[in-house]
Amino acid sequence: MLNFTFKNQTEILFGKGQVSEIASRLPIDANVLLLYGGGSIKKNGVYDQVTDALKNTRFVEFAGVEPNPTFETLMKAVNVVREEKVNFILAVGGGSVIDGAKFIAAAHNFEGDAWDILTKKAAFENPLPVGAVLTLPATGSESNGNSVVTKKATSQKRAFGSPTLQPVFAVLDPVYTFSLPTRQVSNGVVDAFVHVIEQYLTYSVNAPLQDRFAESILQTLISEGPKALAEPENYDVRANVMWSATMALNGLIGAGVPQDWSTHMIGHELTALYNMDHAQTLAVVLPALMYVQQDKKKDKILQLGERVFGIVDGNDGSRIDRTIKAVQDFFEQMGVSTRLSGYGLDEEAVDAAVANLEKNGLTALGEHGDINLEKAREILRLAV
Ligand code: NZQ
Ligand code: ZN
């Protein structure tokens, strides 16, 4: 096992009605920025519940954080924070709103061009504390320090992170997910699945506990994901999907093991260029990447096949092929196409994504740093 430090500061408030707890978790002199997206929370009653919980708290609102939040919009929110002297950000929404809150928290007293926080890893001081009310189980953003922001002007999607940005609390009420459109339910399950894979499907460092954690999350997503599509108002199913997505990327399963993240980095370029949903890009890239990287990932692919999909007979080559196919079938079963052509894209998109990887200096990806531009091209070509 590799050395690691592990601390997760997020207090999880899980279950029906837990939003009523938030006022007691805010600082006494709280002046809150209530941050949300395009308005889904106004239709499903979450906005009313949150503002009711804040009835004795000072707050201002900022609405309109887009899916794949943009630097341009978030800087407007930074101005509100400065003008209104906000000292706490409450993000109500999916990963985009929570990621946006973290960026605002970091940028509020940054002098100079705040885009440097994303591209140059520029240091920031005294970020504002963030709390989250999660409405879309997918990213794990509610319980980690990561944030992904897109600059519209240059079609760049970049990530940054710090433990200081991790939400201090996160409300996870499965009822809030009943109103999700099918596409977002599917996206969430696929994203969480791939988060586990990025931390599991590398090479063994003799960390069987992390392996079993990862496999149990994958198994839960495979069994509960399709049920969430079939029975949108089944509370227990929603609860299990929600907790799986949080556990997939809250630092626990990735502690002490090598991590990959190349599927995500390649996928981000497709979103930046073509506005594909985050999970759609992952469903396209992962099966092709497993195929191209099968020699390096052989032992873990065999283990995934055996323990998660029950693939035990046949020679190694056939087991690897069937495991990749099983992953692909699961994404398709969740209604997420695994081909670029499924999103109207062709070879041109391959060239554009590879050019963007080069522009962003992403030329040595994966747990071995061996996914160069040539390999990225091979992966994307396979996925057309
Ligand atoms: O904006 P509103 O109106 O709220 O609608 C949203 C949005 O259109 C809607 N939605 C959310 N909850 C809903 C709902 N609609 C009805 N009922 C509800 N309960 O869903 C749409 C998508 O929301 P979004 O927040 O964009 O989705 P997601 O949670 O998948 O977040 C994606 C973003 O997170 C980043 C992605 O790159 C992408 O920018 N990621 C963040 C990570 C992290 N912080 O650790 C890791 C991930 O790998 C990922 O990169
Ligand atoms: Zn993801």
> In this structure, is residue 3 part of a structural domain?
no
Which atom of ligand 1 sits closest to the CA of residue 140? 45
Tokens of residue 256, six digits? 């002490």
- Ligand 1 within 6 A of CB of 264: yes
CA distance 10 to 169: 5
* CA nearest ligand 1 atom 46, residue: 139
The answer to whether residues 252 and 339 belong to one domain is yes
What ligand 1 atom has the least distance to the C-alpha of 136?
A: 12
Residue 216: what pLDDT? 98
Return the residue matching tokens 């609405």.
63
pLDDT score of 181: 98
Q: Per the domain annotation, does 6 fall within a domain?
A: no
The answer to whether residue 1 is domain-embedded is: no
CATH number at residue 224: 1.20.1090.10
In the prediction, which pLDDT does 17 show? Answer: 97
Nearest atom (ligand 1) to Cα of 149: 39
Last residue in a domain, options 176, 198, 219: 176
**What phi-psi label fits residue 176: left (phi over 0), alpha (psi between -120 and 50 degrees) or beta?**
alpha
| The pLDDT value given to residue 163 | 96
Is residue 60 domain-resident?
A: yes
Residue where a domain terminates, one of 130, 145, 176: 176
d(CA 205, CA 75): 42
Q: What is the domain extent for residue 53? A: 11-176
Protein residue with least CA distance to atom 34, ligand 1: 95
At residue 11, φ and ψ (nearest 5 deg) are -85, 120
pLDDT for the residue numbered 144:
98
Residues 172 and 218 in one domain: no
Distance between CA atoms of 9 and 11, rounded to whole angstroms? 6
Q: Which residues have their alpha-adjacent CB atom under 5 A from ion ligand 2?
A: 191
Q: Which atom of ligand 1 is nearest to the CA of 194?
A: 48
* Partners of 130 in the β-ladder: 89
Helix extents (H) in 143-234: 182-200, 208-230
Same domain, 272 and 301: yes
Closest ligand 1 atom to Cα of 39: 3
Q: Could you tell which of 10, 61, 139 is best to mutate to test the pocket of ligand 1, judged by most ligand atoms within 8 Å of the CB? A: 139
How far is 248 from 33, CA to CA, in rounded Å? 28
Scanning the structure block, which residue is given the tokens 């997910």?
177
Ligand with an atom nearest the CA of residue 99:
1
Measured over the CA atoms of residue 247, residue 251, residue 252 and residue 254, the dihedral's sign is positive
Query: Same structural domain for residues 223 and 169?
Result: no
Q: Is 318 helix (H, G, I), strand (E, B) or coil?
A: helix
| Residue 159 CA, closest ligand 1 atom number | 50
The whole-angstrom separation of Cα 98 and Cα 84 is 20
Asked if 101 and 238 sit in the same domain, the reply is: no
How many domains are there within the chain? 2
Per-residue pLDDT of the chain (384 residues; tens, 9 = 90+): 999 999 999 999 999 999 999 999 999 999 999 999 999 999 999 999 999 999 999 999 999 999 999 999 999 999 999 999 999 999 999 999 999 999 999 999 999 999 999 999 999 999 999 999 999 999 999 999 999 999 999 989 999 999 999 999 999 999 999 999 999 999 999 999 999 999 999 999 999 999 999 999 999 999 999 999 999 999 999 999 999 999 999 999 999 999 999 999 999 999 999 999 999 999 999 999 999 999 999 999 999 999 999 999 999 999 999 999 999 999 999 999 999 999 999 999 999 999 999 999 999 999 999 999 999 999 999 999
- Contact indicator for 130, 101 with CB cutoff of 8 Å: yes
Query: According to the model, what pLDDT value does residue 224 have?
Result: 98
Residues 140, 143, 145, 148: is their CA dihedral positive or negative?
Answer: positive
Same domain, 148 and 198: no
Say yes or no: 198 and 107 in one domain. Answer: no
Query: Is position 286 within any domain?
Result: yes
Asked, for residue 307, whether it belongs to a domain, the answer is yes
HSE-CB of 42 using CA atoms within 13 angstroms: 9
113 and 194 share a domain?
no
Tokens (6 digits) for 359: 């522009």
Six-digit token pair at 102?
């973290």
Q: What residue has token string 């885009």? A: 115
Q: Which ligand is nearest to the CA of 141?
A: 1
CATH number of the domain to which 98 belongs:
3.40.50.1970
- Do 232 and 301 have their domain in common? yes
Burial letters for 352-361: b for 16+ Cβ neighbours within 10 Å, e otherwise? bbbebbeebe
Does the beta carbon of 146 sit less than 6 angstroms from any atom of ligand 1? yes
Does ligand 1 come within 6 angstroms of the Cβ of 160?
A: no
User: Residue 189: inside a domain, yes or no?
Assistant: yes
**pTM > 0.75:** yes
95 plus 190 within the same structural domain = no
pLDDT confidence of residue 172: 98
- 278-292 vs 262-274: helix axis angle to the nearest 10? 140
Tokens of 220: 């839960």
d(Cα 14, Cα 171) in Å, to the nearest integer?
6
Nearest CA to ligand 1 atom 17: 180
> Is any ligand 1 atom within 6 A of the Cβ of residue 263?
no
Same domain, 85 and 202: no
Separation of 53 CA from ligand 2 center, angstroms?
30
Q: Within this chain, do residues 282 and 299 fall inside the same structural domain, yes or no?
A: yes
According to the model, what pLDDT value does residue 382 have?
98
Among candidate residues 176, 201, 216, the one where a domain is terminated: 176
3-state helix vs strand vs coil in the chain, percent to 5: 55, 10, 35
Instruction: Tell me the two tokens of residue 67.
Output: 């899916």
Is the C-beta atom of 184 inside 6 A of ligand 1?
yes
